[in-house]
Amino acid sequence: MTPSEPERGSGPALGTGAGTGPGAAYDEEERAGLPALLEAVLSVGSELELHATLQHIVDSAAELCAARYGALGVVDPERARLTDLFTAGMTRAERAAIPRLPDGHSGLLGALIADPRPLLLDDLTRDPRAAGFPPGHPHMRSFLGVPIRVHTQVFGNLYLTEKRGGGPFTDDDLALVRVLASQAGIAIGNARLYETARRRERWIEGAAAVTTALLAGSPAADALMCVAEQARILADAAAGVVLQPTPQGGMEIVAASTHGDPGDLVGTAIAPGSPVLEQLLGGEAVFIEDSATDPRMTTHVRKRFGPSMMLPLQSGGQLIGTLALPRVRGGPPYDAVDRLLASQFASQAALALVLADAQHDREQLAVYEDRDRIARDLHDLVVQRLFATEMMLESTRRRSSIAAADDTVGEELGRAVDELDSTIQEVRTAIFALQQPPTDAPTTFRGRVLRETGGAAVLLGFQPSVHFSGAVDALLPEPVAGDLLAALRGALAAAHRRSGVTSIEVRVDADPSRVRLAVADDGRTESGARGTTATWESAL
């Protein structure tokens, strides 16, 4: 039997309308079937939306051959199984009564998938390949099956059962359905191109929206959430999550978008040694048919999900993380177009994340440079002029105290000198604050002290040593901590003003009753003495 010949089942002859010899005219039944065929062929090509086209095909085939029931099963070429089934002649109640639709792994539907050739049966229940009907399934006997090809690939199969009138399907029915299937392949091809173009347009628009949002200056957490949410919507997934590598060598969910509350998704980690981890850290895409049963999945949240894509967020050799798009249990698997478009989206999103991070760095650098310029201007212009004015006033005060018996003028000048000295110290403190990186301030007292000394090191040219004694973070209330930090800034600024400073030691000692701050340096004072220590104490 050649591939073009139909497979025939046992039973009586199936029609005699093929003519009696070469050049014989079509009989009346064939003549009556031609207008219906032409109408069906024209109608199946009138739709561009794929689902509507498929439903139209099965309805037209059932009407063309007077079949009580019809079905069109869409075949997944990678898995050799049915991924969708469109029916005609069955009410919603009849479909709901069937516990599950066939998947094409067995029975006559599976046989037609394994061997895609036309199939005619007088009584399908007598065929050894039949697997029986599930509970609630309508009774069926006569059967006609024809594959639908789009170009050279089998897209699916068209099934007709129970010819009205009780007789079997004929060779004429088979010929009509084969013509319809041929034209349906063209219509399906056009509809698939149209649907793919629309899906591609949506993914491109989604990627553009993500890029615009990321380059608008969103914080890092918001940027990852934007990628997860947009990808979830485009992929029609149950969740969109972004995982990033952990210091322990695993991966952790850092952003999650779901239809409702993401619950315990954020913070879920893939432990080191997981079978899927090596692929993810290597920047490979992972496609999973059922997350709940796949042995590579080890997280506790996997049981709620089915088909999933795990795509690398990678740009220029830099792995930012992984974008995972799981669907609900029992949801439709991702097809080749889904995988391609989602992978392209992940690549563009990763590039946008890298560009947004680089833009943030440039903005931060601009802030650093501007703060450094302000600090230099304050130091070079304001502080120097204030210091020169202070020296002039000090000299004037000394001369006036010698020349005049009344020292009132000298006292006033002394107060002016003190005010200028205080102003200089405050300006120097501001300079130290400007020199520190404008990052998020530490929350603990230890961290804030270390931040102040680290900022001072920029101007001093060396790192002050810091020592803590006692539970300073637990014992110090915020008002006391603020006063000590202000005193520390002033002491560091004063040390920078003195000449010959090569080392500074900061000590913080705390017990349940008091706290003491001491700042010692080896610089020279105005009197020429070497080394000075400033201390502050506060009761707790």
Model-level pTM?
A: 0.55
Each residue's pLDDT tens digit, 18-60: 344 444 433 444 444 556 666 666 666 666 678 888 888 888 8
Mean pLDDT, the chain, as a whole number? Answer: 79
Q: Which CATH number covers residue 467?
A: 3.30.565.10
Gyration radius from the chain CA atoms: 41
- Report how many domains make up the chain: 4
Domain for residue 32, yes or no? yes
Percent of the chain with pLDDT over 90: 12
Domain for residue 360, yes or no? yes
Q: Are residues 317 and 379 in the same domain?
A: no
Each residue's pLDDT tens digit, 397-442: 677 666 655 566 667 677 777 767 766 666 666 666 666 555 555 6
Q: Are residues 433 and 472 in the same domain?
A: no
Domain for residue 294, yes or no? yes
> How sure is the predictor about 1, in pLDDT bands with cuts at 50, 70 and 90?
very low
Q: Are residues 42 and 154 in the same domain?
A: yes
pLDDT at 109: 80
pLDDT, average across residues 343-355: 87
Domain for residue 326, yes or no? yes
Q: Are 270 and 243 in contact (CB under 8 A)?
A: yes
Nearest residue to 325 via CA among 255, 426, 425, 402:
255
Domain for residue 206, yes or no? no
pLDDT at 323: 93
Give yes or no for residue 108 having a pLDDT over 50: yes
Domain boundary among 283, 309, 334: 334
Distance CA 320, CA 70 (A): 50
pLDDT at 216: 76
Domain for residue 393, yes or no? yes
Distance CA 189, CA 199 (A): 15
Q: Are residues 361 and 459 in the same domain?
A: no
Q: Are 277 and 244 in contact (CB under 8 A)?
A: no
SS (H, E, C) 282-313: CCCCEEECCCCCCCCCCCHHHHHEEEEEEEEE
Q: Are residues 42 and 183 in the same domain?
A: yes
The residue range of the domain holding 513 is 441-540
Distance CA 81, CA 74 (A): 8
Percent of the chain with pLDDT over 70: 78
Q: What is the DSSP letter of 381?
A: I
Q: Are residues 233 and 260 in the same domain?
A: yes
> How sure is the predictor about 380, in pLDDT bands with cuts at 50, 70 and 90?
low
Q: Are 79 and 224 in contact (CB under 8 A)?
A: no
Each residue's pLDDT tens digit, 150-193: 888 888 889 899 888 888 898 888 988 888 888 888 888 888 88
Best-predicted range by mean pLDDT among 76-80, 155-159, 373-377?
155-159
> How sure is the predictor about 318, in pLDDT bands with cuts at 50, 70 and 90?
confident
Sign of CA dihedral 8, 14, 15, 19: positive
Best-predicted range by mean pLDDT among 78-87, 340-349, 464-473, 493-502?
340-349
Q: Which CATH number covers residue 251?
A: 3.30.450.40
Q: Are residues 399 and 465 in the same domain?
A: no
Domain for residue 343, yes or no? no
Burial 464-474 (b: 16+ CB within 10 A, else e): bebebebebee
Domain for residue 1, yes or no? no
